[in-house]
Structure 1
Amino acid sequence: MNKVQLVLCILGVLASVVTAQLGGRNPRFGTCLCVTGSSVNVRDNAGLNSRVIGSINRGQCYKYTGLKLTRDGYSWYTIDYNGRRGWVAGNYLIESAASRCQSGGGRPGCGRVDYRGYRVSDSQVRAKLVQIADLFCNRLWVTSGDRPNGRPGSHHYVGRAADFWIDGQSNNGGAMFDRIRRSGIMNTDYQVIWHGSRTCTGGEHIHIGRYTDGRRTCWVHEGTRPGNRCQYRCM
């Protein structure tokens, strides 16, 4: 074995040790854990037979919430999964800097915006879609954009809006909305709406529309319960 092969071998061993370390020990509560695999299942309890509640991908980071169990040959760890408890196999997690979790867990370039043929004219709205996709480190698919034949004066009508959803967030609109709000990337000049399952707009989605006067962002729940269907009050 030459020196190059020896160095590569040592680095490979060290990398495997770092990855495996988490699977055998219990880190401190609040430790930032980052995902090393693709389409890693998040479950409602420890074990391979537990219900899958979501999917996470390489580069996404979450805070450890202090519970660890060994089951089905894996060490399982609890994470704060968009405001709820989720269990993930430790084989796919490594510790990372606390700042990775404080910034929302994403990293530039890890997400992707799929416009699916919809036009979103406003460059600032398009830039926000990229930021949101990177926040979730996943595919953001646009469900509506410019509507030149829509309601006059609306954000869609003037070309400064987009409706979207994020892969892996089925039935999780509230958690998506809350995570975007907590991230701080939409604090000014926007209207952000979670159109829930009771929406009068045709289906559950997240909407962002850009103002142009620098006002504080208006956060809205619409159609999330019977009492707020077709209601657009800022929180």
Structure 2
Amino acid sequence: MFQVSESAYYAQLRQCSKSNKYGRLSLDIEALFDESRGAAGKRTLKARLQHKGMKVGLARIRKLMKQQGLESKQPKKRYSYPLIEEQTMPFNSLLNRKFSPDSQTSVLCGDTTYLKVNGEWHYLAVVLNVAQRQVVGWRLQRKYNAELVVEALNPAMLTTVRTKEMIFHSDQGSVYRSYPFTQCVKRHGLIQSMSRRGNCWDNAPMERWFRSFKYEWMLKKGGCVIVGSKGGY
């Protein structure tokens, strides 16, 4: 009969218990990762595990994710494209990162991005109502020009309730500084506001919406982009 020392027996018992523990943890991590549609990274997973009463270090989560081949979707570097049009000087930032307007103020935020549809690059402009956190206007087209943002703002104004103060906020993109767009803003009675250069958080609601849209809600199949019906976040 093969005999094992008492210390070796209990060491083996602890090892088995540890393996079972991390086996269950791996399943929890995989489930939470799938719930996020592949968007959650190790820090997000740690926060969600803590919410469930499980205290786990980032190093352990990273190791278990690597073992399961789970890799968070990360945004790619954005590129700016020059626009050959008459442009105005940048406007001041009127929001000061206050994204909860009162009942007398309406705030619309706008931004653009690019995505591939049926294997071809398109540009998407979106207008977000900050108070409702809902998309109220959008435009998808092949060309990056002033028409892109003008045609996103026009339908947005059809459903936006008029208030005492009306603000449109964006980054300092060339299309938002173009003459056709600034005139469109004036026709709608909006006050134009722009983020400070190098301060992406000045337009945080739009940045957050685009991140959720592109890395959680936008489904990709082959070379075709399938856009979901979710309008808010």
Query: Do both proteins adopt the same fold according to a TM-score greater than 0.5, normalized to the shorter chain?
Result: no
Q: Calculate the TM-score normalised by the size of structure 2.
A: 0.22
Q: Calculate the TM-score normalised by the size of structure 1.
A: 0.22
Question: Which protein is richer in helix relative to its size?
Answer: 2
Q: Which has the higher contact order (CA 8 A, sep 6+)?
A: 2
Question: Which protein is richer in strand relative to its size?
Answer: 1
Q: Could you say which structure has the larger radius of gyration?
A: 2
